[in-house]
Amino acid sequence: MEQPELAAAHAEIAHAIGAELGADLSTLKAAAVREAARLVLIVDSLGADLMGNGVLTAKGRNRAALSAYVLTLDRLHKLMTVLGRERRSRSLPTTVDGVLAGPSQERA
């Protein structure tokens, strides 16, 4: 059963990721974006659980949520790599006026 709040959050995250990647996404990349959004929600939920309940059991062992969190975070990182979140180079300001204008003015 779908939860409306999660569905809305998923759609919002997927839209934001898609917007960062550009409007011209292949079918496979669009599917990867949806899964990345799902993983973001899972990582966020597990992270909140760990922050609230701690990472260790009463006997000092790792909680299952910690293992799930680390595994899910790793999958999200790999999927982000597949989606091509490569670093884009930017030009540095060449004048004092360019530095004072800030990054948005220098690109113009």
Residue 23, token pair as written in the block: 């409007």
Whether 92 maps to a domain, the answer reads: no
Per the structure, the count of domains in the chain is: 1
Task: Please tell me the distance from the alpha carbon of residue 82 to that of residue 85, in angstroms, as a whole number.
Answer: 8
Domain housing 64: 4-85
Reduced to 3 DSSP states, what percent helix, strand and coil does the chain have, rounded to the nearest 5?
Answer: 70, 0, 30
pTM: 0.72
3-state DSSP call for residue 62? strand
3-state DSSP call for residue 55? coil
Whether 62 maps to a domain, the answer reads: yes
The model's pLDDT over 23-77, given as tens digits with 9 standing for 90+, comes to: 788 899 999 999 999 999 999 999 999 999 999 999 999 999 999 999 999 999 9
Whether 75 maps to a domain, the answer reads: yes
